[in-house]
Amino acid sequence: MEMEGKYIYCIIGTTQERNFGPIGIGGRDDEVLTISYDDLSMVVSNCKTIKLGVSRQHLLAHERVIEQVMKEFDGVLPVRFGTIASSADEIRSLLDRRYREFKTALVNMEHRIELGVKGIWRNMDVIFNEIVEGNKDIKREKEKLQNDKGMKNIQARVDVGKMVAQALEKKKDQETAKIVDSLRRSSIDYKLNKTIGDDMFINAAFLSDKGREKEFDNIMDDLSEKYKERVRFMYAGPLPVFNFVNIVIYPEEWEK
């Protein structure tokens, strides 16, 4: 018989027992509830104690619960995906031991949200042409290659490809800096995450006060208008503050 545990989503500051509905991870419609110690609570649901696979379905379920909690509570601390306790008593014991740490983090994250911004160039031919025209060395080497189709220039083509790749990364950094400079005025902190593909030049998370979300929205509207012919922006939020707080609970902590 498989053992049942408590899957942990996040930590909130409340003494009240709460039920967020049958939205628990694992597809069993488990109720999402709070387990409290003093004025801190962990948001949990029942689950099997086996390790959950890192699938899109599970990750989205984890995030959806936290987003639901955010609708009612300020200062939500996300807990790392896949964290499972064996019992409610283990959870209360952990809240006791790390009370000061969690309490301080909640105060720091109160009324704060995460906003995600991705920027994708609409036409890479235009971008690569700008790179060639703006770099004399690349332009000169490409002109040489166009005049010599011989196999002996295979290495030269590889070298030019490397030069273009390096120039592309530099261009990404330059255009990212412009976007960040505009948005950081309405945010507390930001983090740059890895981009995917040649056409994505920015993948950033911004930490903002809830009261300044509209200001941030307006800046995004201005940027979208300014770069409408050049960039497609993907803007998401408010989101849980995953990039700025991610509570980690190690397995050995449950044994204390």
Residue-range domain boundaries for the chain = 4-110, 114-239
**Residues 29-43: tens digit of each pLDDT:** 899 999 999 999 999
What does the pLDDT average to over 80-88?
Answer: 90
What percentage of the chain exceeds 90 in pLDDT? Answer: 56
CA-based nearest residue to 70, from 248, 242, 231, 191: 242
Q: What is the pTM of this model?
A: 0.83
**Residues 137-190: tens digit of each pLDDT:** 666 666 666 666 655 566 666 666 677 788 888 999 999 999 999 999 899 999
pLDDT at 163: 76
Query: Left (φ > 0), alpha (ψ -120 to 50) or beta: where does 42 sit?
Result: beta
pLDDT at 41: 94
For residue 248, count other CB atoms closer than 10 A to its CB: 8
